[in-house]
C-alpha cells in the first residue's frame, strides 16, 4: 500500500480533547446544570415477569418537591424504535410499561421532582399492584415446550424470514462428516458482560424559548437518538437539538437511546430542564449488557488438518427485549465459521428471549463470542489431529477471493500475513512452509473452496 | 437536619459552604461550587473518579462528609492546574496519551500528584500500587503508568526513556 498523499495515516496526531481532559475542563453531560433543573427517576419493576394490575401515585404526589409523574398513557408513541431505524421489525420494547413487565428493573413510572432526593423519595412511595408470572432465565429452557413466553408474538425467538433462527448453508455438512477422519465437537459458553462505563448513561433536556428542546447527552449515536426521540414524541426532528460527542466510556453500551425520549417528554410537558442520569446500580442492572452466549461447534476434520465441515448452533440471550440483538445474530451468522475456508457449513443462530436484563451492542457484538468459540475450537482441532495450532490456522485460512459460507467473496485478505506478523511479535518461529505462504488467490481456480 | 456552615481551603481560596449534615465533599464541589473536574462514577468509593487531595492525601470525595474537611486543604484538578500552561504531570499525561474517554483522568492525576510529592522517584510497583484504587474502563492503564513514570523522570531531570 502506498501512503503518498495521505496526511494522517502513519503519523501521530494530537487529540483535540487532550487539554480538556488533563485539566478537567471537558464538560461531560452531568457536569452541566441549568436554572430550575428537575431530576427524573424511574419506578422500576421489582419482579422479573409480572402483570401490572395497578399503579397508585397518591402518596408519591404528596412528597415535598414532587412535580409530575409520567406513565405509559403520557407517551405519544410508547415504543422504542431501535430496530426499525436499522430496518428490522418488530419493535417490542415500551418506553414505560403497559400491562406487563418482563425483566427486573423495567421502567413503569417516571417521576420528576425539584431535587434528586425528592425524586427518589417519591419513587419509593409509588404503590405497584403486580401479579407475578413464571419467569425463564436460560436460553435452552426458554426454547422448551411449555416455557413462559416473554414476547408478544408467541415464541421466545426472533423470527428471521419465517425461521426461528438466522440460517447459513453451504454444501452438505452431513455427507462431509461421514467422510471425515475426525469429528471434533464442543460447546462454548459466556456470561453477560456489563460495559460499566465510568460515566453512567444520561442526558439533560432543556426547553428553549423558540419551542425547541436542547438535549445534552452522552449517547454514542447522536442522530439515531434524535430520530428515536422524535418518533416517540411524535414531533418533527427539527424541534430537537441534540448536543453530544463527549462520552465518558461507551463500548456499545450507549447506543440504546433509552434515556433521551422520556427526559425530553418531561422537559416539554413541564417547560423546565430535566436531568435523567443513571445511578451506578441502574447502569449495572438495567442498561444493556453483552449477551450471554451458548455456541455448539461440530467440525469434520481430515487427518492432514483440513476442516471439511463445520456446523454451528448458537444461542444468544437477548434478555427481555430485542434492542440490537437480532441484528447481532445476523452479524454472528455471517462470521460464525471463522476466517477459514470450509466447503461445507451449516449455521443456526438463535436470538432467544428470557426474563433477564436486555442485551445489545458491545465491542464487536455478535462476532466477539464467535471468535472466542472458533479459535478455542481451532486449538482443539489441532490437538486432535496432532498438528501445531499455527499450522491448522494457516492451512485453513481464507485466501483472496475465497467463497464465504454466506456467498460473499473474501476481499482484501491479509490473514496469513497478519498471523506471520503476530508470530514475529510474540517471538514464535514459524516453520519455513508457513513463512512462505501468502493470502494470494488460490492457484487452482475460481476462488471457491477448492478442496 | 440543621444546615451548618463549613469552611475549608480549596486550592488557594478560602471557601465557606452551607450544607446539610452528611453532604459529601463531591456534591459540594460539583453542585455548590461548580468544580466539576471531580467526577461522579459510582458514589460508593469504588471507581476513584472522584478522588481529590485533602492535605495532600488522595480521598474518595463521594464518601467524605464535607464537615470532615473543615479547616483542611482540598485540591481538585482545577486547583492543580497552573494559571497558565500545564503541570509536569498534566504534560506527561498528554505526551504519554494517558487517557481515552478522559473520565478517570482527574482522579488519576490527583493520585499521581500525591504519589510524586511523597515519593519523587517511585518504583513501577509503587506507581501501580498508588493507582490501584482508580478504574479506567477504557483499560488504558499502561499509558497511565508510563505518564507517571515520565513525570517522575522529568522532575528528577533524568532521561525520558530511562527507567
Q: Which tens digits make up the pLDDT trace of A269-287?
A: 999 999 999 999 999 999 9
Q: Do A20 and B102 touch (CB under 8 A)?
A: yes
**What is d(CA A90, CA B143) in angstroms, rounded to the nearest whole number?**
45
Grid coordinates of B98: 494517558
Q: Do B38 and A247 touch (CB under 8 A)?
A: no
When pLDDT is averaged across residues A140-159 and rounded to a whole number, the result is: 96
Strands A213-217 and A182-190: unpaired
Predicted local confidence at residue B156, as pLDDT: 84
Provide the number of CB pairs (under 8 Å) joining chain A to chain B. Answer: 81
* Res. A10 pLDDT band, cuts 50 70 90: confident
Q: What 3-state DSSP class applies to A299?
A: strand
The answer to whether A126 and A46 have CB atoms below 8 angstroms apart is: no
Q: Do B99 and A33 touch (CB under 8 A)?
A: no
Q: Which tens digits make up the pLDDT trace of B122-131?
A: 999 999 999 9
Q: Between these two residues, A325 and A6, which has the higher pLDDT value?
A: A325
Q: Do A280 and B99 touch (CB under 8 A)?
A: no
Which residue numbers of B have CB closer than 8 Å to A's CBs? Answer: 30-31, 34, 36-44, 46-47, 49, 76-78, 81, 86, 90, 93-94, 97, 99, 101-106, 109, 135-138
Q: Which tens digits make up the pLDDT trace of A17-29?
A: 999 999 999 999 9
- Please name the member of B31, B77, B135 whose beta carbon is closest to the beta carbon of A24: B77
Grid coordinates of A274: 430535566
**What is d(CA A217, CA A30) in angstroms, rounded to the nearest whole number?**
9
State the span(s) of chain B assigned CATH 1.10.150.120.
88-155
Residue burial A166-191, b: 16+ Cβ < 10 Å; e: rest: bebebbebeebbeebeeebeeebebe
Can you give the length of chain A in residues? Answer: 451
Q: Do A17 and B39 touch (CB under 8 A)?
A: no
How confident is the prediction for chain B on average, in pLDDT?
95
**What is d(CA B108, CA B39) in angstroms, rounded to the nearest whole number?**
11
Q: Which stretch of A83-97, A191-205, A207-221, A311-325 has the lowest confidence by average pLDDT?
A: A83-97
**What is d(CA A334, CA A98) in angstroms, rounded to the nearest whole number?**
36
For the cut 70, the answer to whether the pLDDT of residue B78 exceeds it is: yes
Predicted local confidence at residue B158, as pLDDT: 64
When pLDDT is averaged across residues A402-418 and rounded to a whole number, the result is: 96
* Res. B160 pLDDT band, cuts 50 70 90: low
The answer to whether B20 and B89 have CB atoms below 8 angstroms apart is: no
Q: Distance, in angstroms, between B50 CA and closest chain A CA?
A: 11
Predicted local confidence at residue B15, as pLDDT: 98
Q: Do B30 and A198 touch (CB under 8 A)?
A: no
Nearest CA in chain B to A32: B36
Residues of chain B positioned with their CB less than 8 A from the CB of A24: 36-38, 76-78, 81, 105-106
Domain ranges in chain A?
A: 166-193+288-435
CATH classification code of B4-80:
3.10.20.30
In degrees and rounded to multiples of 5, residue A284 shows phi and psi of -80, -40
- CATH T-level fold of B88-155: DNA polymerase; domain 1 (1.10.150)
For cell 503541570, the residue is B87
State the span(s) of chain B assigned CATH 3.10.20.30.
4-80
Q: Which tens digits make up the pLDDT trace of B24-76?
A: 999 999 999 999 999 999 999 999 999 999 999 999 999 999 999 999 999 99
Q: Measured at the alpha carbon of residue A111, what is the angle toward residues A110 and A114, in degrees to the nearest 5?
A: 150
Strand runs labelled E in A71-145: 100-101, 107-113, 127-132
* Res. A445 pLDDT band, cuts 50 70 90: low
Among the listed residues A259, A267, A262, A257, the one whose alpha carbon sits nearest the alpha carbon of residue A213: A267
For the cut 90, the answer to whether the pLDDT of residue A89 exceeds it is: no
- Please name the member of B31, B90, B136 whose beta carbon is closest to the beta carbon of A23: B90
When pLDDT is averaged across residues A149-163 and rounded to a whole number, the result is: 96
Q: Do B41 and A198 touch (CB under 8 A)?
A: yes
Predicted local confidence at residue A256, as pLDDT: 87
For residue A185, what are the β-bridge partners? A298
Residue B29's alpha-carbon distances to A404, A412, B44, B62, B78, in angstroms, are 57, 53, 17, 10, 11
**What is d(CA A181, CA A352) in angstroms, rounded to the nearest whole number?**
34
Residues of chain A positioned with their CB less than 8 A from the CB of B105: 21-22, 24
Predicted local confidence at residue A9, as pLDDT: 86
* Substitution target from B11, B23, B26, B40 for chain A, most A beta carbons within 10 A: B40
When pLDDT is averaged across residues B14-19 and rounded to a whole number, the result is: 98
- Please name the member of B47, B78, B97 whose beta carbon is closest to the beta carbon of A198: B47
For the cut 80, the answer to whether the pLDDT of residue A448 exceeds it is: no
Among the listed residues B93, B71, B90, the one whose alpha carbon sits nearest the alpha carbon of residue B79: B90
Q: Measured at the alpha carbon of residue A280, what is the angle toward residues A274 and A284, in degrees to the nearest 5?
A: 115
Strands B51-54 and B73-75: antiparallel
Predicted local confidence at residue A451, as pLDDT: 43
- CATH T-level fold of A166-193+288-435: Aldehyde Oxidoreductase; domain 4 (3.30.365)
**What is d(CA A237, CA A241) in angstroms, rounded to the nearest whole number?**
8
DSSP state letters, A226-258: HHHHHHHHT--GGGEEEE----S--TTTT-S--
Grid coordinates of A291: 449477551
Amino acid at each position: 500500500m502506498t501512503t503518498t498523499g495521505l496526511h494522517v495515516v502513519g503519523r501521530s496526531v494530537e487529540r483535540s480533547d487532550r487539554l480538556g481532559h488533563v485539566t478537567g475542563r471537558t464538560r461531560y453531560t452531568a457536569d452541566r446544570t441549568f436554572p430550575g433543573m428537575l431530576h427524573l427517576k424511574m419506578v422500576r419493576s421489582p419482579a422479573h415477569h409480572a402483570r401490572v394490575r395497578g399503579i397508585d401515585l397518591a402518596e408519591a404526589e404528596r412528597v415535598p418537591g414532587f412535580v409530575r409523574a409520567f406513565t405509559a398513557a403520557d407517551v405519544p408513541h410508547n415504543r422504542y424504535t431501535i430496530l426499525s431505524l436499522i430496518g428490522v421489525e418488530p419493535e417490542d420494547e415500551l418506553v414505560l410499561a403497559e400491562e406487563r413487565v418482563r425483566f427486573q428493573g423495567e421502567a413503569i413510572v417516571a417521576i420528576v421532582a425539584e431535587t434528586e432526593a425528592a425524586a427518589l423519595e417519591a419513587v419509593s412511595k409509588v404503590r405497584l399492584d403486580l401479579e407475578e408470572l413464571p419467569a425463564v432465565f436460560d436460553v435452552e429452557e426458554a426454547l422448551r415446550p411449555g416455557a413462559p413466553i416473554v414476547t408478544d408474538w408467541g415464541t421466545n425467538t426472533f423470527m428471521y424470514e419465517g425461521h426461528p433462527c438466522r440460517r447459513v448453508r453451504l454444501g452438505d455438512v452431513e455427507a462431509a462428516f461421514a467422510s471425515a477422519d475426525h469429528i471434533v465437537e464442543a460447546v462454548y459458553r459466556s456470561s453477560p458482560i456489563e460495559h460499566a462505563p465510568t460515566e453512567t448513561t444520561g442526558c439533560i433536556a432543556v426547553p428553549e424559548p423558540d419551542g425547541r428542546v436542547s438535549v445534552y447527552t452522552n449517547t454514542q449515536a447522536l442522530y439515531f437518538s434524535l430520530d428515536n426521540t422524535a418518533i416517540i414524541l411524535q414531533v418533527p426532528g427539527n424541534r430537537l437539538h441534540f448536543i453530544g460527542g463527549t462520552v465518558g466510556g461507551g463500548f456499545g453500551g450507549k447506543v440504546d437511546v433509552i434515556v433521551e425520549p422520556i427526559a425530553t417528554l418531561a422537559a416539554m410537558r413541564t417547560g423546565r430542564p430535566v436531568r435523567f442520569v443513571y445511578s451506578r446500580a441502574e447502569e449495572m442492572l438495567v442498561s444493556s449488557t453483552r449477551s450471554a452466549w451458548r455456541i455448539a461447534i461440530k467440525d469434520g476434520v481430515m487427518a492432514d488438518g483440513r476442516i471439511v465441515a463445520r456446523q454451528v448452533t448458537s444461542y444468544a440471550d437477548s434478555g427481555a427485549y430485542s434492542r440490537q440483538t437480532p441484528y447481532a445474530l445476523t452479524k454472528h451468522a455471517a462470521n460464525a465459521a471463522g476466517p477459514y475456508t470450509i466447503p461445507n457449513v451449516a449455521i443456526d443462530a438463535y436470538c432467544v428471549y428470557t426474563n433477564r436484563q436486555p442485551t445489545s451492542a458491545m465491542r464487536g457484538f455478535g462476532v466477539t463470542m464467535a471468535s472466542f468459540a472458533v479459535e478455542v475450537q481451532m486449538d482443539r482441532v489441532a490437538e486432535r489431529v496432532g498438528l501445531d495450532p499455527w499450522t491448522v490456522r494457516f492451512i485453513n485460512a481464507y485466501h483472496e477471493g475465497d467463497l464465504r459460507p454466506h456467498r460473499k467473496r473474501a476481499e482484501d485478505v491479509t490473514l496469513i500475513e497478519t498471523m506471520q506478523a503476530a508470530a514475529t511479535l510474540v517471538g514464535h518461529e514459524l516453520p519455513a512452509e508457513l513463512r512462505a505462504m501468502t493470502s494470494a488467490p488460490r492457484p487452482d481456480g475460481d476462488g471457491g473452496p477448492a478442496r | 437536619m440543621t444546615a451548618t456552615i463549613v469552611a475549608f481551603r480549596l486550592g488557594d481560596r478560602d471557601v465557606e459552604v452551607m450544607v446539610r449534615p452528611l453532604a459529601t465533599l463531591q456534591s459540594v464541589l460539583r453542585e455548590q461550587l461548580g468544580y466539576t473536574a471531580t467526577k461522579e462514577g459510582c458514589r460508593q468509593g469504588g471507581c476513584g473518579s472522584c478522588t481529590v487531595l485533602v492535605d495532600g492525601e488522595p480521598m474518595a470525595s463521594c464518601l467524605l462528609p464535607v464537615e470532615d474537611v473543615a479547616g483542611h486543604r482540598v485540591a481538585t484538578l482545577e486547583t492543580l492546574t497552573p494559571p497558565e500552561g500545564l503541570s509536569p504531570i498534566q504534560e506527561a499525561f498528554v505526551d504519554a496519551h494517558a487517557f481515552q474517554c478522559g473520565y478517570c483522568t482527574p482522579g488519576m492525576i490527583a493520585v499521581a500528584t500525591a504519589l510524586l510529592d511523597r515519593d519523587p522517584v517511585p518504583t513501577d510497583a509503587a506507581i501501580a500500587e498508588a493507582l490501584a484504587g482508580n478504574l479506567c474502563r477504557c483499560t488504558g492503564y499502561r499509558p497511565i503508568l508510563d505518564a507517571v513514570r515520565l513525570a517522575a523522570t522529568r522532575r528528577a531531570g533524568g532521561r525520558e526513556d530511562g527507567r
